[in-house]
Amino acid sequence: MSKITFLGAGSTVFAKNVLGDCMLTPALNGFEFALFDIDAERLRDSEMMLNNLKETAGSTCTIKAYHDRKEALRGAKYVINAIQVGGYDPCTITDFEIPKKYGLRQTIADTIGIGGIFRNLRTIPVMLDFAKDINEVCPDALFLNYTNPMAVLTNVMNTYGGINTVGLCHSVQACVPEMFKNLGIDSTGVQWKIAGINHMAWLLEVTKDGQDLYPEIKRLAREKQNEKHHDMVRFELMLKFGYYITESSEHNAEYHPYFIKKNYPELIERFNIPLDEYPRRCVDQIEGWKKMRDQLVNDKNLEHKRSHEYASYILEAIETDNPFKIGGNVMNTGLITNLPKEACVEVPCLVDASGVTPTYVGDLPPQCAALNRTNINTQLLTIEAAITGKRDHVYHAAMLDPHTAAELSMDDIVSMCDELIEAHGGWLPALK
């Protein structure tokens, strides 16, 4: 029996989407779905939910929950990762509240910036523990990473974990349909090409019947400049730098030095930037789970429709040798020629029986590559901090972050990092 192991299976809604998709994929009939989570109650919830879904879907898969991670991984052909280390309380709260004392505001804080750096520092050791187990009990497994910060964690698993890893993000497949919906354009029959880094990949080409649609997109975006909406940051970046970015405006507001500025508070209103957005979402999700848990977990008639998540389509393509194209996060083995070879990049990839094969992109437009490099700098220094355990590299990563550097002095950045390290306590490895 082939085996799919889901790490972080207590993410019940996400497990429903990803493993529910797998149940509806004939090529995966008969697979064991091995569930693991450190939260025994949430693990049990997901096991019950998936068994109900199995019955209504008529699936021949086997659902099995494990309390021993290594046994959950043993013999796995595929591993899907969706963990979050530290959760909302205490770690996410810490990531937002301490920087706020220094006048540094954030929106999501899960990619780069201060929040992204510290999320990485507490997650990388856990991921490398996964890698040790995988190398021992399922060394040939394909590791599908859904956990943020995507670029750094995927990089670490490939570079230091020795695990065949591809990072998967929702933003690539959602980019064009959502943007066209916001602009009131029909996206049927539209072709596009996207490449860059995770959460800052670029819509390099967008055409229909061979016609370049960018002139019309930019015309409509200019018309909406004086209208409040939820994509104002991305439209502004596109109009200034020439290309649309995959990830949302609330994310991109904190990836650049231009939008969240304490000396220019009017920018927050002008670009409709939702400060402290991620903590609000966390609170809403916690409350929402309390209301939906019984219905989701105990519904004997629970149903599912296949989603747009990449995982089941990747597994199907490998099992059937019917090719499928994804936007994947992989190491930059000469794929994007004006980004560092040490970086993890997001590029079109072909999936078939031979696995995930990234495609060559070449040079990005120079201004796009330059913006990517500002974020890659922080990513690579964060990895140095995690691997070497040197506190100085934490400071370096923070001082190179575009938003942080634009707002704080070097002395304040160091003080803030020290305070964050102290507050995280045992959630972080020892730093010297």
> Is-catalytic flag, 424?
no
Q: C-alpha angle with apex 340: 143 to 258, nearest 5 degrees?
A: 100
Contact 5, 36 (CB under 8 A): yes
Determine the Cα–Cα distance for residues 10 and 77; give it in Å rounded to an integer.
21
199 annotated binding-site participant: yes
Q: Tell me the two tokens of residue 360.
A: 């060559």
**Residue 346: its H or E element:** strand 344-352
**DSSP state for residue 320 in the 8-state scheme:** H
148 annotated binding-site participant: yes
One of 170, 229, 308, 424 is an active-site residue; which one? 170
Contact 150, 184 (CB under 8 A): no
Determine the Cα–Cα distance for residues 125 and 146; give it in Å rounded to an integer.
17
Determine the Cα–Cα distance for residues 365 and 70; give it in Å rounded to an integer.
44
Among 264, 220, 268, which residue's Cα sits nearest to residue 244? Answer: 220
Please state the length of the chain. 432
User: Which residues contact residue 186 at a Cβ distance below 8 angstroms, ignoring those fewer than 6 apart?
Assistant: 180
Give how far the C-alpha of residue 16 lies from the chain's centroid of Cα atoms, to the nearest Å.
18
Furthest-apart CA atoms within the chain: distance in Å: 61
**Which residues make beta-bridge pairs with 346?**
196, 329
Annotated binding site for substrate: 148
Catalytic residue numbers read 170
Annotated binding site: 148, 169, 199
